[in-house]
Copies of this chain bind each other. A is one copy, B any other.
Amino acid sequence: MEPVTPPRRVTIVDVAQHAKVSTTAVSKVLRNAYGTSPTMRAKVRKAIEELGYRPYAAARGMRGQTYTIGVMLPDIRNPFFPEILDGITDSFQDTDYQVLLGPGCNGVAAEARVTEAMVDRGMDGLVLIAPVSPRSHLERIAGLVPTVVIGRHGPSAAYDTVTDDDLAGAALVIDHLTGLGHRRIAHIEHHETDPIRLIEMPNAVRADGYRQAMHAHNLADQINIVSTTYTQEGGYLGAQQLLARPQRPTAIFAGSDFTAMGVLDALAEAGLSVPGDISLAGYDNTTFAALGQVSLTSVDQAGHHIGANAARLLQDRITDRHRPTTQIKLSPTLIPRRTTAPPP
């Protein structure tokens, strides 16, 4: 057997003929526009129902809206991002907008490709989650399409932003650890060199928060940072480096839960127990952290809340492109679990 050629789509013209009205009328009913009598609405609705009509987005796109929101997700594997995504999709659930995701955006080039593709497809709004693209690119995109950027510190005149307070999050961890009696607290950061990203990226802000919090606790002389990446491997290598240094830390603040997973591997390999020998905290409160076998102390960012706020900002911006940009900063909370305890 073989698939057959698809039948011609039902168009607004078919509906108009069936309902014995003009196409304008149909269009207006579709968009709940001004100037339609209840009688006409009923007739049109009935025809739409009977014919199974659905508006063709490409044609609508040619006249302005596509009713599509694009979300750029840097890493679909990071269990933190789905929360944000849910927050976004839930907010658009009862609207005519459909949310579509751009996958595989690892790196500046891939991000550019995906964002351009979204612009080309006439999307009505964009949410960029933790983009690594240079600011100039973000602002260019935002100049073309209403855009909200999540997880990038530093305000912009071109786009709205939603961030979690990474400075406060890092402080939560250090407060928790010092409260338990730790002094030799090390940090594993995601390496960053670009001067703008050094200010704007969450990883850089977390490292900064670590430094500031250590100062605040009069532990400036204990500051001990190793610079790898926010990956399991980065955590593994980072922990090995830390263990090789003269004074072994009694606690490690890993910049992300992924990193913490690698730290756990390295510590297990070195025959060290957690939290017996070393305490460990992560960041993002991912599913990994919550697993009973892992039970990692972590910082929760309320991803759903972040996404919902981004969606609201985006809808506002779509409504009024000229309103001043808004920056929303949300507060993280600490989730203490079994990987942190008083030092030995």
Binding site for B on A (CB under 8 A): 1-6, 54-59, 61-62, 66, 68, 70-71, 76-77, 79, 82, 85-86, 89, 98-104, 113-114, 116-117, 119-122, 142-146, 157-159, 261, 264-265, 268, 287-288, 291-294, 317, 321-325
Cβ-defined contact, A77 with B287, below 8 A: yes
What is the distance, in angstroms, from A27's C-beta to the closest C-beta of chain B? 16
Docked Cα-Cα span, A317 to B6, in Å, equals 13
What is the distance, in angstroms, from A284's C-beta to the closest C-beta of chain B? 14
With A2-B157, A54-B120, A103-B85 known as contacts, the answer to whether A268 contacts B292 (CB < 8 A) is yes
Cβ-defined contact, A62 with B54, below 8 A: no
Docked Cα-Cα span, A121 to B121, in Å, equals 10
How many copies the complex holds: the figure is 2
Using Cβ atoms and an 8 Å threshold, which residues of chain B touch A70? 100
Out of B2, B86, B100, B120, which one reaches A322, CB within 8 Å? B2
Given contacts A98-B117, A264-B293, 15 further A-B contacts (CB under 8 A): A2-B157, A2-B325, A3-B143, A3-B317, A5-B322, A54-B119, A56-B120, A57-B58, A58-B59, A59-B62, A61-B61, A76-B76, A76-B82, A89-B103, A288-B291
Docked Cα-Cα span, A225 to B233, in Å, equals 38
With A98-B117, A117-B98, A288-B291 known as contacts, the answer to whether A159 contacts B57 (CB < 8 A) is no
Using Cβ atoms and an 8 Å threshold, which residues of chain B touch A322? 2-5
Using Cβ atoms and an 8 Å threshold, which residues of chain B touch A144? 6
